[in-house]
Amino acid sequence: MSILFYEKTKIFHLCNQEFSYIMMVLPNGHMGQLYCGARVHEKEDFSYLFERMHRPMTACVFDEDDTFSLEHTRQEYGVYGTTDFRHPAVEILQENGSRLLDFKYQGHKIVAGKPSLPGLPATYVEDDKEAETLIVTLKDRVTDVSLELLYTIFAKGGILARSARFVNGGAQSVQLTRAMSFCLDLPDAEYEWMQFSGAWARERHLKVRRLEQGIQAVDSLRGNSSHEHNPFIVLKRPTADENQGEVMGFSLIYSGNFLAQAQVDTHDMTRVLLGIHPFGFSWKLEAREEFVTPEAVMVYSKEGLGGMSRVYHKLYQKRLARGYWRDKERPILNNNWEATYFDFTQERLVELAKKAKECGVELFVLDDGWFGERSSDFAGLGDWVANTTRLPKGITGLAEQIEALGMKFGLWFEPEMVNQDSDLYRAHPDWILKTPDRHASLGRHQHVLDFSRREVVDAIYKMMAKILREAKVSYIKWDMNRSITECYSSAYKADRQGEIFHRYILGVYDLYERLTSEFPEVLFESCASGGGRFDPGLLYYAPQGWASDDSDAIERLKIQYGTSYVYPISSIGSHVSVVPNHQVFRNTPLHTRANVAYFGTFGYELDLNKLTEEEVTQVKAQISFMKEHRHLIQFGDFYRLSSPFEKNITAWMVVSEDKTEAIVGWYKVLNGVNMPYSRLKLQGLSEDMVYQITVDGQELSGNYYGDELMHIGLLTSDGSAGELPHGVRTCGDFDSRIYVLKA
C-alpha cells in the first residue's frame, strides 16, 4: 500500500496489490482523474491519460487553448458552469447570487492510518499500517472557501474511502447547496447498473440495466435511507458475473436523504456521484465554519460481484461495526411481537420466555407496548416509562425474572417518535418537526421528534439511560416507523431550514453514540419498519439490523440475497415466524423457515407454546444447529450460487477461512414433476481437500474433492418422483436443504 506523489508531473498514485487510483493537477489547477482500476506499475508520468482535443460548440478554460474544456475532462470533484455542463459535485450560493466556483490545488499531505469524521460514522483502522490517507487541499479565490478531498486506501482489497471538508475562510457567509461525498469520472459507459430497490416488506430487490446516455439514479427524500432504494449501487462490465470480471461498488455511510447517480454524456463518459441529496439541502457556512460530508466507500474487484461483496463484508464487519459485539456470535432470540402484539401481561411474557428457555433460546425480547399508555398505535410514544398496569414490577422486575430463567432480556424503543396522546407531546408540542401554518401529517398515528435540537435528544437520552442503568437490559431494538414530512424546525432561522434533514440524522447518531458509549455491552439492533434504514451509517452503532418486517421465508430469499451484495451476514436480522405468515399468509415448512433464517442473526417471532411437540423438537434441533455453526455462518466467507431473481432455485454458502468447513443453503420455491437432473457448483473450497457431506443431518456416501464440487458440482436432483439414492426426499413447494461440508 502506498500513496505516491510526483512533483514534476503533479501526479498522485494511490495503490495496493489489487488496485490503482491515479489523478493529477490539471493545467488550470483543478484535480483531474486519470485511472481507476486494477493495479498498474508505478511510474512518474501518466499524463498521456489526460486527453483533450478541439470539439465544436465547446467552451474552453484558456482563451489561447481551444483543446482544453472541462466538459470533456475527467475530474475529481466537478463544478458546473466554468466549461463543465454536467451535474456537479459541489455548488455554493454566494451573497452576490453567483454559484460559480474555481477550486484550485493548494497542496496536500499524506498521513498514516485514517482520520475520523466528527459526528459521523465512518470506517476506521486499529493500526495505522492498515491504511493511508491523502488529503488534497483546494481553494476558491473569490469566496476564500477551502475544500479538502480525503482519500483513504486500505492495505488489502480494492477499497477507496472518500469524503470532503469545506472551510469558509472568507468574511462573508455562503450557502453550501450541494456537497457530494464521491465523484468519479470514468472514460467509457460499458457498464451494467445495479440497484437495490423495493418497498416495505420487499426491500433490496436487485434491478439491473445497461448504462445509457443520460442520467440513471436512485435516491431518498424521505429523511431516512428508505425501503425504496438502498444507498448502494454497482457498476459492472457486461461480461462480469459472480466469480469474474470488473466490478465497482459505491456505498454511502449515511442514514438520511441520499443521491446515487450515474450521468453518461453524449461522448460516453460516465460521472458517478454519491452523497447527501442536494434537493432541499443547504448548509450555511459562516466565517471560519466548516462542513464535512459523510463517507462513501468504493470497492473495485476483478473477481466479480462475489469478490466485491466479500471485501465489503469484511470491511463493514471489522472496520465499520465497532465495540463489544463486533466479533461475537449473536444470541438466539425470541421476540414477542408476532406472538402477542399489544395484548400481553407480565405473566404471559414470562410464560413465553420459559418455553423459549426450554428450547434453547438465549435472549427474550419485549417489543412495543410496555411503556406509557401504550395499548395501540395511537398513544404512548415518547413516554419511556414502564406501564405498571401491565408490568407491575416495571422493566427492572421483568428483566430480573427473565435473567432468573437463565436468559438475557431485550427491549424495544422507538426514540425518534411521539404520539399526540403522550405526556411528552402535551409538555412540548413544539418538539416535533412541523412547518408553521401547515398541516402536520401523521404516519402510524405519530409525529417525528425534532432531533436537530439538542434538548430533544437530551430528553430522550435521559429516559432511555435511566432504564438501562436500572434494569438488566442486554439488547435494544431501535425502531423508526415513519418517514419525515413537513421538515421544519422551530429552533432554526429561515436560512438554516435546509440543514434540518441532515441535522436530524446527526442527532440520531449523537444519541446512538452516547448510549453505546455508556452501555458498551448492550447489543443494539437497528430497525425502521424493518428495512427502511438498513444502511452502513447505522452499522457503525448497531452491528445488526432487522432486514425486513416481512418474515416469510420465501420472500426473505430475495431480501437477504439482495442485502448480501454489500452487507455482512452478521448484520442481517432474520427470524422464524408463524404460519400462515402474517405478511403474505403463506404456509411454509418449519425447516425452510429456519434454513433461511440461519443465514443471519437467527431467532423466533412466534409463541413457541403454540407449537406441536414435533415442532418443538424441530425448534430445539434448529437452535442446537445454529449454536454449533453460527460463528461460521455469521463470520465466514459468503458466496451466492443461484439467484432468486433469475431462477426457481436459490442457493448460497459460507466457507471457513481455512476452507475446512462450509455450509450450503439450497431453496426451491415451487415443486415440479419429473424434473431434470440438477447440480450446484460450489465456490470457495480448497481444490485439494476432501470433504464429507451431510444433508439435513444425513451423511452422504463417499467423499468429494473440493475441485469436483466446484467444477462438476454437488448433485441436487429433485426426488419428487421417488427416492434418490442418498435417501433424501423433498416435501413439495417451498422446500429447502442444508448441506454441511467438513474436510
pLDDT tens per residue across span 315-364:
999 999 999 999 999 999 999 999 999 999 999 999 999 999 999 999 99
User: Could you say which of 383, 549, 607, 735 is catalytic?
Assistant: 549
H helices present in 471-499, as ranges: none
Mean pLDDT within 148-167: 98
* Percentage of the residues of the chain whose pLDDT score is greater than 70: 98
Residue 728: predicted pLDDT? 57
Q: What is the average pLDDT value for the chain, to the nearest integer?
A: 96
Residue 729: predicted pLDDT? 60
Mean pLDDT within 660-674: 95
Beta strands in 516-602 (DSSP E): 523-526, 544-546, 572-573, 576-577
Strands 31-38 and 19-25 turn out to be antiparallel
In the beta sheet, which residues pair with residue 164? 149
List of residues 6+ apart from 571 with CB closer than 8 A: 316, 317, 321, 539, 543, 544, 545
User: Which set of grid coordinates corresponds to residue 331?
Assistant: 444470541
Mean pLDDT within 81-110: 96
3-class secondary structure, 269: coil
Identity of the residue numbered 288:
R
Span of 65-69, 350-354, 658-662 with lowest mean pLDDT: 65-69
Strands 205-210 and 270-276 turn out to be unpaired
Residue 63's pLDDT band, with cuts at 50, 70 and 90, is: confident
Query: Phi/psi class of residue 379: alpha, beta or left (left: φ > 0; alpha: ψ in -120 to 50)?
Result: beta
* Domains by residue range for the chain, with CATH: 2-319 (2.70.98.60), 333-422+457-483+523-631 (3.20.20.70), 642-742 (2.60.40.1180)
- Whether the pLDDT of residue 722 is over 80: the answer is no
- Distance from C-alpha of 255 to C-alpha of 502, rounded to nearest angstrom: 9
Per-residue pLDDT of 520-558, as tens digits, reads 999 999 999 999 999 999 999 999 999 999 999 999 999
Mean pLDDT within 41-64: 93
**Cα atoms found within 13 Å of the Cα of residue 453, Cβ hemisphere only:** 20
Decide if 549 is catalytic.
Answer: yes
**Radius of gyration of the chain, Cα coordinates, nearest whole angstrom:** 27
**C-alpha distances out from residue 432 to 269, 446, 453, 492, Å:** 45, 10, 10, 13
Residue 721: predicted pLDDT? 44
Residue 717's pLDDT band, with cuts at 50, 70 and 90, is: confident
Q: Across 54-68, 245-259, 663-677, which has the greatest mean pLDDT?
A: 245-259
In the beta sheet, which residues pair with residue 152? 133, 161
- Whether the pLDDT of residue 399 is over 90: the answer is yes
Residue 506: predicted pLDDT? 98
Mean pLDDT within 54-75: 92
On whether the pTM is more than 0.95, the answer is yes
**C-alpha distances out from residue 680 to 103, 664, 668, 693, 736, Å:** 54, 10, 13, 14, 14
- Distance from C-alpha of 14 to C-alpha of 149, rounded to nearest angstrom: 14
For 160, other C-beta atoms within 10 Å of its C-beta total: 22
- Distance from C-alpha of 700 to C-alpha of 693, rounded to nearest angstrom: 6
Residue 669: predicted pLDDT? 96
Mean pLDDT within 710-739: 76
413 closest CA partner among 367, 468, 365, 474: 367
User: Could you say which of 185, 479, 552, 735 is catalytic?
Assistant: 479
Per-residue pLDDT of 161-199, as tens digits, reads 999 999 999 999 999 999 999 999 999 999 999 999 999
Decide if 707 is catalytic.
Answer: no
For 44, other C-beta atoms within 10 Å of its C-beta total: 12
Residue written as grid cell 470514468: 186
Is the pLDDT higher at 58 or at 169? 169
Query: What single DSSP character describes residue 420?
Result: S
**CA dihedral of 539, 542, 544, 548, whole degrees rounded to 10:** -90
Q: Which helix (H) or strand (E) holds 400?
A: helix 394-404
* Percentage of the residues of the chain whose pLDDT score is greater than 90: 96
Residue 269's pLDDT band, with cuts at 50, 70 and 90, is: very high
**Cα atoms found within 13 Å of the Cα of residue 524, Cβ hemisphere only:** 30
